Structure formats: structure tokens, C-alpha cells
Amino acid sequence: MSGVHTVLNPATATPVAEVPATGLDETDAAIERSHEAFAAWRGVAPGERATLLRRFADVVDAHVEELAGLEVRNAGHTWANSRWEAGNVRDCLHYYAGAPERLSGRQIPVAGGTDLTFHEPLGVVGIIVPWNFPMPIAGWGLAPALAAGNTVVLKPAELTPMTAIRIGELALEAGLPEHVLTVLPGKGSVVGERFVTHPLVRKVCFTGSTEVGKRVMAGCAEQVKRVTLELGGKSANIVFADADLPAAAAAAPYAVFDNAGQDCCARSRILVERSAYDEFLGLMEPAVAALRVLDPADEASEMGPLISAGQRDRVLGFLDDAEVAFSGSAPGGDGFWVAPTVVTSADPAERIWREEVFGPVVAVMPFDDEADAVARANDTEYGLSGSVYTRDLGRALRVARAVEAGNLSVNSHASVRYWTPFGGYKQSGLGRELGPDAPQAFTEEKNVFIAH
Ligand code: NAD
């Protein structure tokens, strides 16, 4: 081990646990053991691998309250969110437990023989997880990767290792063979980088900042290593004047302040048609004021603290030169709190309009017509998600198709379902997770010709 990391409760800034950091030699040894376990795991019959994953899901289900409690303390997530997140791991495991028996190839007509395709597992898959959604992002990688016959080494973020470590223990309890899933808490610069450079790791799934994602991609290029990237976002919530404005204004705070805005899908830019701009802001103000920003240990809390003092200071830095329209409340004390804040933005060149804040701050700007709305929404290097509020179905579809982002919702801000594809355009990412095709992304398609 190379040192320990003191995990803090972000609501109170008090220590929760000391977690040893995995060193380089231990990372190498874990990758080698994972590689050795691969030979047997890929050979487990499809039905049996499915049964093991269902059992894993059932064990996670039996520990939802425990896992949720860990996340409330370690990440400052609300109880409602934490229970959803633990349940999401269970659901991903159940869903992808259906994959081993369905990983079918094709038979393609050819002259002089038979042609068959196979989906072969890759080997060891390295999954690098950020601190904002420790459980779901771990589950989105590990469940389809294991289902497709790979073994997994997983690195949680330094700040939030608790639930991943527990999920690793639950896998063994469920009967997964040793070293099929290995959780390695530690530094990105040590464990994460080793996933990129170690030749036995055949694919890296990285979720995190665009900056680190670019380094991971460049590192993977050295070995032409497969890579999936889920990166930052600056998603737009586009509200047309013909929308159900009270509904759109009531939903807008939850579309950006959920998880204290530390959500890659946060609709952190709101574009409102000019004729409805004042009315929309007037409707949104009481909705923001009513948001219950409380210690997440309180079941009534709808928004908790930010993950760290550093993140709080970064977010507050964005407010120095921003035009605050109104804000909600936040507790005092030693925790890392920022009140939900709505700012108006007059110029798309403003930092608050362009950069990912990753905190409870949303910028609002008017637009003139449909073409202007789409142009402003697309004026960003990111492209992860977005929302369109309108009663005009034709317009809803036109705009949803025109926005350069991977996950759009109409009259809604729901972006994530484990059975639909998820991922970004432009600098928000590369590749897709979740949905029916996720296991294929953890395989190589092999073609075999048999001469008659
Ligand atoms: P980060 O990039 O600093 O860290 C993410 C993970 O990468 C951590 O586990 C970290 O230890 C590891 N890491 C750091 N340096 C590394 C290196 N050199 N090599 C390999 N791994 C390394 O990001 P963060 O601050 O933890 O997370 C916040 C960011 O994640 C935001 O930008 C957010 O938008 C993004 N995010 C994106 C999605 C998505 O699906 N698109 C989901 C969640 C979060």
C-alpha cells in the first residue's frame, strides 16, 4: 500500500474512514491475477455466468440500505438518491445477467463454405470512476463487462471509495470467483494511469473530466487500447414560450441542482424564448427557494453539500463575476455547502455560460426563435444531454434531432435508464454505455470462415 486517504463526510467535514491507497506494484499484481482469472471466467457456461450475475444482483439488493448509508456519509448524497444509486447497480446486474445467453454472432452467406461471427471477450477491463456518482458509474462498466466474459479491475475516485470497496466484497459473497472483479482504491496518477499503460488491460472505461479523459485517450493510443470516455457537459434546457411554463419552471431546478449540480448531465444552461423569459424566471424563483437543502442524513433533504472544500471554492469562484438573479438556502457549519444559485447571462462568451461548473449554479439566457435556440445550445465544445420544453411535437423532434448531444429529453429532464444508450457527442465523450448493446462494446467481433 502507498499511504492512506482520509475519507471525509462532506456535510460536516468530519472523517469517516481511512482507506489505504493501492501502490504501483500491487496494481500490477492485481492486473496479473485478473488476467489469470480471465481464462476460467470466459469459459464459464453462459447460463452459469448469468446465474452468478443474478445472484450478485440479489446480494446487492439485500444491501441497498447499507450501501445507500455509506454514500450518504461518504459523498453527501441524499437518501433518496443514494437508494436509487444502489438500486441502479442491482438493476444493471440483473439487466446484463440476460446478456451471456444472448451474445449471439451471425452466419453470413459466402461462397464455398460457412461464415460465422463470434463476440469474444477482451480480457482485463480497467474501469476508472469519478466521485460524483460512485455506484452507478461503477455498475455501468462492470455489469456488461463481466457479462461479456471479461474480468474487471476498478478504481474508485480517491474521495469516494467506500461503496465500490463494499460492492467488491458483495461480489465474492455472491459467489463470483476470486479476482474476477477487483476494486483498487488509490490515486489516478498511480492506479488509473497503470490501467492505461499495462499491456494486459485491454480496455479502459474512463468517466471523469475532459482534461484527464484526453490524457487517458492519448495514453491508450500507445497500445491501440480500446477506450470509452464519459466526460464533462454543459447541457442546455431549452424552454419555448408555448411550453407548460409552470411545469418547466418547477422541473428546472431539479434538472441542475440534483446531486448539488455535480452531474455530468446537469442542465446548467437554460435557454428561454424571449417572450416567456420574465414569466419563466418569476415561476422558477419560488421553486428554487422551496428546494430543501439540508444535511443529507436528514431524509427530507433534496440537495446536499459539494464533495470537497476544493470543489466548493471552485464553484464559488464562478460567482465572483456573475450576475446573480436569485438563490436558495444552504446550511452553515463546516460542511462544503453552496446554495442553489440562478444567474443571468447576457453574453455567450462569459465563463459561466461556457465552462462546466459542476455545482449548484445555473445560467439563464433568452433566445429569439427556434434556429437561434439550436445555435446557442450547440455553441459549446460539450454535447452530453439536453431538454426541450414545448407543446409542439414537430418542434420537439426537430430541436431534439438538431441539438448535438447524446441524450435529449422532451418535457422532461430524465437522461439515464440502464436499458437505453448513454454517452456524449464532441468533447463529452467517446462510445456509449448502457442500453442493449453495451456488452458488445466489451468484445471483439471475430469472423471465422469454414471451407466446405
Ligand atoms: P477526474 O478526471 O479528476 O477524475 C476521474 C477519475 O480519474 C478519478 O478516479 C481519478 O482518480 C482518475 N484519474 C485522475 N488522473 C488520472 C490519470 N492521469 N490517469 C488515469 N486516471 C486518472 O474527474 P472528477 O473530478 O473525479 O469528476 C468530475 C468530472 O467527471 C466532471 O467533469 C464530470 O462532468 C465528469 N463526469 C462525466 C460523466 C459522463 O458520463 N459523461 C459522468 C460523471 C462525471
| Atom of ligand 1 lying closest to residue 157 CA | 9
* Order of strands across the sheet that contains 429-430: 181-183, 151-155, 124-128, 201-207, 226-230, 429-430
Distance 346 CA to ligand 1 centre (A): 30
Query: Is 347 within the bounds of a domain?
Result: yes
Distance 24 CA to ligand 1 centre (A): 20
Query: Is 55 within the bounds of a domain?
Result: yes
Same domain, 349 and 395: yes
CB 224 within 8 A of CB 201: no
Does 5 sit in the ligand 1 pocket, CB within 6 Å? Answer: no
Query: Is 422 within the bounds of a domain?
Result: no
Query: Is 168 within the bounds of a domain?
Result: yes
Q: What's the confidence (pLDDT) of residue 1? A: 65
pLDDT tens-place values along the chain, 452 residues long: 678 999 999 999 999 999 999 999 999 999 999 999 999 999 999 999 999 999 999 999 999 999 999 999 999 999 999 999 999 999 999 999 999 999 999 999 999 999 999 999 999 999 999 999 999 999 999 999 999 999 999 999 999 999 999 999 999 999 999 999 999 999 999 999 999 999 999 999 999 999 999 999 999 999 999 999 999 999 999 999 999 999 999 999 999 999 999 999 999 999 999 999 999 999 999 999 999 999 999 999 999 999 999 999 999 999 998 999 999 999 999 999 999 999 999 999 999 999 999 999 999 999 999 999 999 999 999 999 999 999 999 999 999 999 999 999 999 999 899 999 999 999 999 999 999 999 999 999 999 999 99
Same domain, 16 and 153: yes
Distance between CA 331 and CA 384 in Å, rounded?
A: 31
Tell me the CATH number at 284.
3.40.309.10
Same domain, 188 and 249: no
DSSP, collapsed to helix, strand or coil, labels residue 157 as coil
Options 230, 273, 302, 433, the catalytic residue: 230
Distance 7 CA to ligand 1 centre (A): 17
Does 186 sit in the ligand 1 pocket, CB within 6 Å? Answer: no
Residue 264 designated active-site = yes
Tell me the CATH number at 52.
3.40.605.10
Residue 148 grid cell: 461479456
Same domain, 128 and 35: yes
Total of domains in the chain: 2
CA 207 distance to own-chain centroid: 7
Residue 103 grid cell: 451474445
Q: Ligand 1, residues 207, 217, 258, 354: which to mutate, most atoms within 8 A of Cβ?
A: 207
Q: What's the confidence (pLDDT) of residue 393? A: 98
CA 125 distance to own-chain centroid: 17
Distance between CA 50 and CA 146 in Å, rounded?
A: 10
Same domain, 9 and 40: yes
Does 429 sit in the ligand 1 pocket, CB within 6 Å? Answer: yes
CB 191 within 8 A of CB 34: no
| End-to-end C-alpha distance for the chain, whole angstroms | 57
Does 382 sit in the ligand 1 pocket, CB within 6 Å? Answer: no
Same domain, 352 and 336: yes
Task: Report the run of H or E that residue 398 belongs to, with start and end.
Answer: helix 393-402
Same domain, 21 and 157: yes
Kindly report the protein residue whose alpha carbon is nearest to atom 10 of ligand 1.
188
Q: What's the confidence (pLDDT) of residue 2? A: 72
Does 281 sit in the ligand 1 pocket, CB within 6 Å? Answer: no
DSSP, collapsed to helix, strand or coil, labels residue 290 as coil
| Atom of ligand 1 lying closest to residue 230 CA | 41
Same domain, 123 and 106: yes
Same domain, 393 and 246: yes
Q: What's the confidence (pLDDT) of residue 407? A: 98
Kindly report the protein residue whose alpha carbon is nearest to atom 12 of ligand 1.
188
Which residues constitute the domain of residue 39? Answer: 4-231+427-451
Same domain, 374 and 261: yes
SS3 content of the chain, % helix, strand, coil (to 5): 45, 20, 35
Distance 283 CA to ligand 1 centre (A): 35
Options 264, 265, 273, 433, the catalytic residue: 264
Query: Is 314 within the bounds of a domain?
Result: yes
Same domain, 165 and 268: no
Q: Which residues contact 438 (CB under 8 A, 6 or more apart)?
A: 96, 140, 144, 421, 432
CB 313 within 8 A of CB 343: no
Q: Which residues contact 264 (CB under 8 A, 6 or more apart)?
A: 132, 207, 230, 231, 232, 233, 384, 428
Same domain, 166 and 38: yes
Distance between CA 197 and CA 187 in Å, rounded?
A: 15
Does 264 sit in the ligand 1 pocket, CB within 6 Å? Answer: yes
Does 209 sit in the ligand 1 pocket, CB within 6 Å? Answer: yes
Place of cell 461548473: 357
Q: Which residues contact 313 (CB under 8 A, 6 or more apart)?
A: none
Does 205 sit in the ligand 1 pocket, CB within 6 Å? Answer: no
Q: What is the DSSP letter of 259?
A: G
Query: Is 183 within the bounds of a domain?
Result: yes
Query: Is 384 within the bounds of a domain?
Result: yes
Query: Is 151 within the bounds of a domain?
Result: yes
